[in-house]
Chains A and B, each alone.
Chain A
Amino acid sequence: MDLYHPRILELSKEPVNFRKNEEAEFKAHAYNPLCGDEFTIYLDDGRTVGLKVSFHGYGCAVSKASAALLTQSLEGEDLKGALQKIEHFMECFESKADTGNADLNLLLAARDFPSRRSCALQAWQECQKTLSAIKKTG
């Protein structure tokens, strides 16, 4: 699989939901100490209309495309649904199973690049931590 599929490059150049939202109720901070890449994922709790998600920061093509696809996946979900989506993606990533989404499937290529796995996973992992904490307290 090609880590730099044209769709990944397209998403990294013009990522969806790439905007700050300092007013967001919750923020997940994805930081990769190995390369210094940093993203903030802004989550507005969607008790009535579902989650509103955006992100901002700096990272490689893979991490940027992955964060963009994360925001797209979680958009409109409730907390439980968002956590399920994240878990499903992470399970598919480990097993290389079909995610059911053509764009997300492209991220699975990172599994073959041990030093780049975190680029594809980090935003998802940090979001999972944040959402789990919200679910526990709330």
Chain B
Amino acid sequence: MAKDEKNFGALSAGDWSALRQQFPILRKGDLCYLDNAATTHKPSSVIEAMEHFYRAENATVHRGAYALAEKASLRMESVREQMAQFMGVESHEVVFTSGTTHSLNIIAQGLPDQFLKEGDEIVVCPSAHHANLIPWQELSRRTGAALRFLDLIPDQLTWDLDQAKKIIGDKTKLVAVAHTSNSTGIRYPFETLVHLAHDAGALFILDAAQAPLGEALHFGRSGVDFAAFSGHKMFGPTGIGILYGKAAKLASLRPDRYGGDMIRNVTFQQATYAEGPRRFEGGTPHLAGIIGLGQAIQFIEHIGIDPMRSRCSSLVKRARSLLLEDGWKVLGSQSTSSILSFYDDGIHPHDIATLLNQDGIAIRAGHHCAHPFMRSLGLSGTARLSFAAYNTMKEVDQLMDSLKKIRTLFS
């Protein structure tokens, strides 16, 4: 680990060119990667820590009495502590999962049977990623509780809080919304909904997939009951994610899988289950992923979330202004994150993405796993830019040059 720390120890805040050099995939210089909302690239420190684990420290956790296994267990728990600090919560409220989708499904499938019944309501957002919609659709189908949707203010595409106040009430048992829309980049005022949900006696669940690089997380302070996000969107590895839950709320959930490592006592006829996060961590964890995630947190904290956010804001601001200047339509009246969605009625987003790819530019095109939302806007999809701190103004210019060629081709 000392080697990894040295790797970015010389990196000073604001030295964006040096930051970019930390990412092996970007060093060659021919990739203009603007799809960071899908997944970010990984710095050397993350890659090397994972490789080092497999090369020198590999063992499973919580079950070996030998030094290697004990060390692996300590590493896992130290990352849990690190993650707890990163989120502003207690470590026994941090569950390692495979990612946002898994985390949200643990909640939706783990709520007690009596929690919802016919006549109850689940409040969700129309722009929800499928991962924060389908689990609630299924829960609604199983229990008879109805889904209710927040209204979005036309063009602005942020929440209509007056309508939210009207629909969140006695019947509401659960409010599940996103921190930031993955399709528009709008950062929602979720803190207001936490209060509305709690005043109504409802659970509040936050899809925080796009949050970790956008701002410091204060889940404890904001009062959310559950939050979910993935490691791979924050410079960490794929296959590892986080479920945060207030201790009492976590304890109320059924485990989503049963087996080794999540038990307290087992007889031939029955079993009792571990308390805290381990209740949801049956089986061998993705330990290399957890170690990589720990390194990703260190990397983020070393650079600082505020400078990264400020850098991404400048990139988005410039891209937005140039896109509008060139006649492209942009979703939402303002982008409050590193994500920006644009479109043109005469050019399909997939054609834009394929043609940009021919110029070495990677963007996402389509419905962004928010298909009902895109349909409600009368769109089959958009082209989406999403920046990370390693992106450059030069890349924005490269994008705009390429888009000009595309417009000419389709004119």
Binding site for B on A (CB under 8 A): 3-4, 9, 13, 34-38, 58-62, 113, 115-116, 119
Which B residues touch A59, using CB under 8 A?
348, 380
Q: What is the distance, in angstroms, from A7's C-beta to the closest C-beta of chain B?
A: 13
B380 near A38 with CB under 8 A, answer yes
Q: Decide yes or no whether B371 CB sits under 8 A from chain A.
A: yes
Q: What is the distance, in angstroms, from B259's C-beta to the closest C-beta of chain A?
A: 33
Q: Which residues of B (327-367) have their CB < 8 Å from a CB of A?
A: 348-351, 354-355, 365-367
B367 near A35 with CB under 8 A, answer yes
A34 near B348 with CB under 8 A, answer no
B351 near A61 with CB under 8 A, answer yes
Which A residues touch B355, using CB under 8 A?
4
A36 near B348 with CB under 8 A, answer no
Known: A4-B351, A58-B380, A116-B354. A36 touches B366 (CB 8 A): yes
Which B residues touch A115, using CB under 8 A?
354
Known: A36-B371, A36-B381. A60 touches B351 (CB 8 A): yes
B354 near A36 with CB under 8 A, answer no
Most buried by A among B350, B375, B380, B410: B350
Which B residues touch A119, using CB under 8 A?
350
B351 near A35 with CB under 8 A, answer no
B354 near A3 with CB under 8 A, answer yes
Q: What is the distance, in angstroms, from A8's C-beta to the closest C-beta of chain B?
A: 10
Q: Name which residue of chain A comes closest to B346, CB basis.
A: A13
Given contacts A4-B354, A36-B375, 9 further A-B pairs with CB under 8 A are A9-B409, A34-B366, A35-B366, A35-B381, A36-B367, A36-B371, A36-B381, A37-B380, A113-B354
Neighbour of B350 across the interface among A9, A13, A60, CB < 8 A: A60
Q: What is the distance, in angstroms, from A107's C-beta to the closest C-beta of chain B?
A: 14
Which A residues touch B350, using CB under 8 A?
35, 37, 60, 116, 119
Which A residues touch B351, using CB under 8 A?
4, 60-62
Q: Name which residue of chain A comes closest to B375, CB basis.
A: A36
B409 near A35 with CB under 8 A, answer no
Q: Name which residue of chain A comes closest to B379, CB basis.
A: A36
Which A residues touch B409, using CB under 8 A?
4, 9
Q: Decide yes or no whether B374 CB sits under 8 A from chain A.
A: yes
Most buried by B among A13, A35, A38: A35
Which B residues touch A34, using CB under 8 A?
366
Neighbour of A35 across the interface among B375, B380, B410, CB < 8 A: B380
Which B residues touch A113, using CB under 8 A?
354
Q: How far is the CA of A38 from the CA of B381 in the complex (A)?
A: 12
Q: Ordered nearest first, which 9 A-B pairs have the shortest CB separation? A: A60-B348, A36-B380, A60-B350, A35-B366, A36-B367, A61-B351, A60-B351, A58-B380, A35-B350
Q: Name which residue of chain A comes closest to B352, CB basis.
A: A60
B365 near A36 with CB under 8 A, answer no
Q: Name which residue of chain B comes closest to A110, CB basis.
A: B354
Q: How far is the CA of A115 from the CA of B350 in the complex (A)?
A: 10
Q: How far is the CA of A92 from the CA of B371 in the complex (A)?
A: 33
Q: Name which residue of chain B comes closest to A64, CB basis.
A: B348
Q: How far is the CA of A58 from the CA of B410 in the complex (A)?
A: 16
Q: What is the distance, in angstroms, from B304's C-beta to the closest C-beta of chain A?
A: 36
Q: How far is the CA of A79 from the CA of B159 in the complex (A)?
A: 52
Q: Name which residue of chain B comes closest to A3, CB basis.
A: B354
Neighbour of B365 across the interface among A3, A35, A58, CB < 8 A: A35
Q: What is the distance, in angstroms, from B354's C-beta to the closest C-beta of chain A?
A: 6
